[in-house]
Structure formats: structure tokens, C-alpha cells
Amino acid sequence: MSAFKTLDDLGDVTGKVALVRVDLNLPMQDAVVTDDTRIRAAAPTVLELAEKGAKVLLLAHFGRPKGERVSTQSLSMVVGAVEKVLGKEVMFVPEIAGDVVKQAVGILRAGDIAILENTRFWKGEEKNDPELVKAIAANADFYVNDAFSAAHRAHATTEGLAHVLPAYAGRSMQAELEALDKALGKPEKPVAAVVGGAKVSSKLDVLKHLVTQVDHLIIGGGMANTFLAAKGVDVGKSLCEHDLTGTANEILDTADTAGCTVHLPYEVVVSKEFAANPPSLRACNVHEVAADEMILDVGPLAVEALSDVLKTCRTLVWNGPLGAFETVPFDAATVALAKTAAALTREGSLVSVAGGGDTVAALNHAGVAGDFSYISTAGGAFLEWMEGKELPGVAALSV
């Protein structure tokens, strides 16, 4: 990870105008915010800048209005929820550049906060149009990016602004980058990665990158079936991408060359139907799966063996559940391995970083999300980072 400036590097910002890119792409129902996690993530940066006396202008996108003003996607809808989290009054400005913003800046006092309109109402946002970048920057003195979740996109407000204004990482961006660096940048070895989820095809680049980076790759979930099939195992009616068995073998070969040990389940939980607690449920060796059975979770003995692997490791990065965790008892392997990782982290012997929509849900379900060293809620950006890609929004911050 290259170096970047943080809020610690700011001089006196009293009365200066800060453009702060945050993630306000909030879950909403009938124009009401149903989950304020992302606001709470941005709050430390916004409040710190306000306390330092800056005039804080928040920039964010909401939904996919594709360069048009769509009234049902106006960020005016989130003002109340943001005020509630910040405990401060917040002004709404229905533009992102030009005289209206200039006038608002004139009205704001040092320490005041405003939310500008949905950046994606302007076509230049997603095109990273230099004219739009210039126009937004014209009303401000410096730029802070606190939206890691949008950093995989080179848009005007996620990347462009960093080139025309003094640029800083916000606290939430800083925490994310530091955690990810500890997990894959300069990790303490041995490093284990858990990759699960439904399909190999959705995580090919993640697997290809990880086998060159980690000491142990634990593959679970539906994607393990494709690897088992590649090794000649009959996986019955399991979810399996038979057309990708060649690719799976290539990944196993790369792992071999790189000295990465790949752990596939040798024992699995199977059932004839996909339902909660089905009567046909059983655990068996991978070589004993019947033609009419589906593999829906890693077996209890295999999970114990995986726990033993984690006990020998210092760092863990995890994306994807080990089984169809939404349906009991196919959550068992994910919950058991998550509990082991959590206990090792609490003891101080493991740095554990996890991310992915369903992964975060699974770790919450296991009741251990708070025990992991870091949980990323960044979705697409987290996966691109796991693929070893340089994120444009992060690269633009580097000094």
C-alpha cells in the first residue's frame, strides 16, 4: 500500500471548505432510511472536520439515476437520518457545483455541514469528466475521500477530485486501508484465506490472486463442488459448474507452484432436498455422495480439521460462507469456523478480516462479527481488493 495523507496531516482548516466523499447509498423504504450503518461509518470524519472548523460539504451518490435528475433519488431524503446520527443540523444543497453551491458556502459558518445533491444526477460523475471535476473543486479548498466502498470506481467525486485538490483519506477509509494492508499487504505469516459462496465463476480472479498470496486456501460453499468435480469426485445433484473444472485444475496447479496448500472438504453435509432440517440430511465422505443428493455444507469433522489449520495461522482473510447458511442446519460449518476465528482473534493470535454481503450476514448470524479484527462492508470494492487490483479511488490518494 502506498502512503496517503490523513486528517492528521491537515493544517488549520478554520473556515476552509472541505469536499468529503462519503457513502450515503443507504437502504430505504418509502423514502425512509432503514439502516444507518453507512452514516455512522462516515460520522467520525464529518464531525472531526466540523470540530476543526471546516465548512463540510458532503458528496455521495444514491442509486443509479444515470445522469438525470430523478426526484425519488434525491439525497434530500437522507438529510433527517444524517442529522440524527451526527446530532447536528445539516443543510441540503440541490446542486454539486456552480453558484448555488457558492452561495451555500457563503451562508455556512465554520463547523457547519451540508449535503450536496446526488452526484449521479450529472453525467460527468461516472465519466470522470474533467470539466465537472473542475466545477465541483472550484467551491472548495480540499478533498477528503471516506468512501472505500466506491473506491473501485474512477468517477469525478471518487477519483477525479483527488487530482485537483489537496486530498486526504477520511477516518473510515484510513481504517479500511490499514486493516486490508494487515491482511494481505504486509500480513504476519502464515496467512489463511477462506473463500466460499455459491459459484467459482463469480470469484475466479479472487481465487487466482489468493493462491499466489496465502499459505492456506480453504475453499467451501458451492464453489468447492466444482473443485471436487475437477478432482474426479461425483458431486451428485450439487450446485457445480462443470464447465469450469479445467479452470479449477489450473488454479490448483498455480497453488501448487506457489506453495499454497488448498483445503477442500473431505467430508460434507448432503440432502436430497434443499429445505430446513430435511429428513434426508446426513454427513458423509465426499466419495459417498449419491446421485440424487446435494452438498449443502462442509461436514463437522472437516470443519474441525479447518479449525486446526486456522490455529496455526497468524492472519485470516475471509469471503464467502462455507455452506447454504441461510437454511438450518447448513449454517453449521460457517458458524463453527467463524467461532474459532473469533476466539483466536480475541486471544490475540490471529488478525482476522472478512468482507462480502453474505459473509457479513453470516458472521452476524454466528454472533461473532464484533470479534473479528475488521469487517468490511464495502462489497464490490472489497472483492476487487481481494483480486489484487489497484482501486482508482485509493491510488489517487497516494502521495
Separation between Cα atoms, residue 156 and residue 135, nearest integer Å: 11
> Which amino acid is located at 248 in the chain?
A
Separation between Cα atoms, residue 166 and residue 108, nearest integer Å: 21
Query: Of these, 160, 187, 299, 321, which contacts ligand ADP (CB under 6 A)?
Result: 321
Q: Which stretch binds Mg ion (CB under 5 A): 123-131, 261-269, 327-335, 349-357?
A: 349-357
Q: What residue has cell string 438450518?
A: 328
Q: C-alpha grid cell for residue 209? A: 490472486
CB 7 within 8 A of CB 48: yes
Query: Of these, 65, 197, 265, 392, which contacts ligand ADP (CB under 6 A)?
Result: 197
Nearest CA-CA partner of 289 in 221, 218, 345, 233: 233
Task: State in angstroms the smallest separation of the CB of 358 from Mg ion.
Answer: 4
308 forms part of the interface with ligand ADP (CB under 6 A): no
324 forms part of the interface with ligand ADP (CB under 6 A): yes
Separation between Cα atoms, residue 21 and residue 140, nearest integer Å: 13
198 binds, among ligand ADP, Mg ion, none (CB under 5 to 8 A by kind): ligand ADP
Task: State in angstroms the smallest separation of the CB of 223 from Mg ion.
Answer: 12
187 forms part of the interface with ligand ADP (CB under 6 A): no
Q: Which stretch binds ligand ADP (CB under 6 A): 44-52, 71-79, 92-100, 351-359?
A: 351-359
Q: Which stretch binds Mg ion (CB under 5 A): 6-14, 286-294, 324-332, 352-360?
A: 352-360
| Footprint of ligand ADP on 352-371 (CB under 6 A) | 356-359
295 forms part of the interface with ligand ADP (CB under 6 A): yes
Task: State in angstroms the smallest separation of the CB of 198 from Mg ion.
Answer: 8
Q: Of 271 and 345, which CB lies nearer to ligand ADP in the complex structure?
A: 271
Separation between Cα atoms, residue 239 and residue 199, nearest integer Å: 8
CB 11 within 8 A of CB 1: no
Q: Which stretch binds ligand ADP (CB under 6 A): 56-64, 76-84, 190-198, 366-374?
A: 190-198
Strands 261-263 and 216-219: parallel
Q: Which stretch binds Mg ion (CB under 5 A): 72-80, 169-177, 257-265, 354-362?
A: 354-362
Q: What residue has cell string 477528503?
A: 144
| Footprint of Mg ion on 43-82 (CB under 5 A) | none
Biggest CA–CA distance in the chain, Å, is 73
Strand order across the 282-285 sheet: 282-285, 267-271, 294-298
Count of residues touching ligand ADP (by CB under 6 A): 20
358 forms part of the interface with Mg ion (CB under 5 A): yes
CA 353 vs. chain centroid, Å, equals: 10
Give the catalytic positions in this structure: 38, 199, 357, 380
Rounded to a whole number, what is the distance in angstroms from the first to the last CA of the chain? Answer: 11
Count of residues touching Mg ion (by CB under 5 A): 2
Separation between Cα atoms, residue 367 and residue 356, nearest integer Å: 16
357 forms part of the interface with Mg ion (CB under 5 A): yes
For 355, list phi and psi in degrees, rounded to 5: -160, 170
371 forms part of the interface with Mg ion (CB under 5 A): no
Query: Of these, 111, 129, 175, 202, which contacts ligand ADP (CB under 6 A)?
Result: 202
Query: Of these, 170, 187, 221, 393, which contacts ligand ADP (CB under 6 A)?
Result: 221
115 sits in which H/E element = strand 113-116
Q: What residue has cell string 491537515?
A: 10
Interaction site with Mg ion (CB under 5 A): 357-358
Contacts to ligand ADP by CB under 6 A? 196-198, 202, 221-222, 239, 295-296, 319-321, 323-326, 356-359
